[in-house]
Amino acid sequence: MNVNTIINNLEAKHPGEKEYLQAVHEVLESIETIYNENPQYEAAKIIERLVEPDRILTFRVSWTDDEGQVHVNLGYRVHFNNAIGPYKGGLRLHPSVNLSILKFLGFEQTFKNALTTLPMGGAKGGSDFNPKGKSDAEIMRFCQAFMLELWRVIGPNTDVPAGDIGTGGREIGYLYGMYKKLQMENTGVLTGKGLNWGGSLIRPEATGFGATYFAKEMLAVNNDTFKGKTVTVSGFGNVAWGVALKVTELGGKVVTISGPDGYIYDEKGLDAEKIDYLLELRASNNDIVSPYADEFPEAKFIPGKKPWEVKCDIAMPSAIQNELNGEDAKKLIANGVQYAAEVSNMGCTPEAIEEFQKAGIPFAPGKAVNAGGVAVSGLEMSQNAMKLNWTTEEVDAKLHHIMSSIHEACIKYGTQSDGYINYVNGANIAGFIKVADAMLDQGII
Ligand code: NDP
């Protein structure tokens, strides 16, 4: 395999799909050596088959707002790879959604799901619909219209979607309601469901908690802990709040959260009361960042900036792809950052990753750090299939165990001869081997 040739060919076939090409490039660079050492992969054209999704469904979503105006959005579901289990991956509702973004997310999801040790393939979907500022009734009508198309290609043994940006418990409820009506079946076809209709305990917190457990393992390599550490976090969505809560519980101090319009710096750090306040604001569909600064006088709102200029020990980007670039990484390094754990999918640009690695700072990629979300989704699927519910302690212990195994896999495949743990290589190689070997076993399909 020659990485540049493959990327050039893909670029010619899929011009302008920059996020997708970026994600493929990163994985290919990590696996190049192992791929070329194992000619059976090349003989079965594993890479050429792995970089193209199995299929893509694109559809129109028509819905009516509260004033009776008709709107038309685009909906997508990308079935990327089901070598190790049913397709599985979230639904993103955000105006930036396009095929490049969903293909990058589906590709990443394939390896992430393999890392969890659970039987799940990779998928992603969503729409360019913007849930911000919409009423509950509008969200419901959109979700129902979206499901009118999506239901044809999902099912508990086929494809099990979940949440992502813009899709939380409320949206999953409306989507599930419509699926159930169309299919006349009460199966666990979505994860992130409400607790009294098939959901799992810990699922809402799982991505953030899992990310913090993974970061805890990164610290433990150096006999270090979160106690007394200053942590910068971006965003304040499904994922970031769980990070803030667990880091705080473990004795760390989260001093930032952010939105697209700027960030909050709270020198005293978030605590349970502040997190509850923010969650209430979020539930009411309101902007949260500037009201927080009005409510708590110790917090400052810094408009138009990102939190990476703040001095911290650990950086945990938790908002959106490419939110931390090379210049941001340089600032963090100059300010003494010791660890970077990417919680968002592809939250750091290749230049940022290079800066961290050059400086010898442990950097772990989203597909390893944020795998706790899909892992607990996998546990939700198991509970649905067995028709029983595990306790909080049981789910949390399994999540903890899965995050430790992912960390061990990264160490196994990513430790360099100089002792530096290259988590990017470790996660990519471990995920790749599992998926590629399953594809080999199943023949050319
Ligand atoms: P949410 O929509 O719940 O939250 C996203 C947060 O990021 C919001 O606070 C949003 O602010 C903020 N944000 C959006 N754009 C920007 C920007 N340009 N700059 C700064 N902040 C921004 O999404 P999730 O928490 O679900 O997802 C966050 C990341 O984690 C994504 O990369 C997602 O793919 C990944 N992830 C999510 C999982 C899950 O279980 N939900 C699982 C694994 C990964 P505002 O609301 O004001 O727009």
CATH number at residue 259: 3.40.50.720
Residue 142 lies in a domain: yes
**Domain coverage including residue 290:** 206-361
Residue 236 has what DSSP assignment? Answer: -
Specify whether 10 is located in the same domain as 120: yes
Specify whether 303 is located in the same domain as 269: yes
- 361, 385, 407 - which closes a domain: 361
Residue 416 lies in a domain: no
- 312, 343, 361 - which closes a domain: 361
d(CA 358, CA 95) in angstroms, rounded, equals 35
- String of DSSP letters for 166-187: TB-HHHHHHHHHHHHHHHT---
124 carries an active-site annotation: yes
d(CA 166, CA 143) in angstroms, rounded, equals 12
- 331, 361, 391 - which closes a domain: 361
Specify whether 19 is located in the same domain as 133: yes
Residue 406 lies in a domain: no
Specify whether 151 is located in the same domain as 24: yes
Q: Mean of the per-residue pLDDT values for the chain?
A: 96
Specify whether 283 is located in the same domain as 226: yes
d(CA 20, CA 51) in angstroms, rounded, equals 9
Q: Is 182 exposed, middle or buried (0-12, 13-18, 19+ CB in 10 A)?
A: middle
Active-site annotation holder among 88, 103, 112, 124: 124
Look at strands 262-266 and 253-259 and give their pairing. antiparallel
Residue 411 lies in a domain: no
Q: In a mutational test of the pocket of ligand 1, which residue from 96, 120, 207 has the highest number of ligand atoms less than 8 Å from its CB?
A: 207
Structurally, the chain folds into a number of domains equal to 2
Ligand 1 in reach of 307 Cβ (< 6 A): no
Q: Pick from 263, 226, 233: which is nearest to 247 by CA? A: 226
Specify whether 176 is located in the same domain as 211: no
pLDDT at position 285, please? 66
Residue 172 lies in a domain: yes
pLDDT, tens digit, 9 for 90 and up, residues 208-227: 999 999 999 999 999 999 99
- Closest ligand 1 atom to residue 319 Cα is 7
CATH number of the CATH domain containing 69 = 3.40.50.10860
> Residue-wise pLDDT tens for the chain (445 aa)?
889 999 999 999 999 999 999 999 999 999 999 999 999 999 999 999 999 999 999 999 999 999 999 999 999 999 999 999 999 999 999 999 999 999 999 999 999 999 999 999 999 999 999 999 999 999 999 999 999 999 999 999 999 999 999 999 999 999 999 999 999 999 999 999 999 999 999 999 999 999 999 999 999 999 999 999 999 999 999 999 999 999 999 999 999 999 999 999 999 999 999 999 999 988 876 778 778 888 898 999 999 999 999 999 999 999 999 999 999 999 999 999 999 999 999 999 999 999 999 999 999 999 999 999 999 999 999 999 999 999 999 999 999 999 999 999 999 999 999 999 999 999 999 999 999 999 999 999 9
Specify whether 80 is located in the same domain as 50: yes
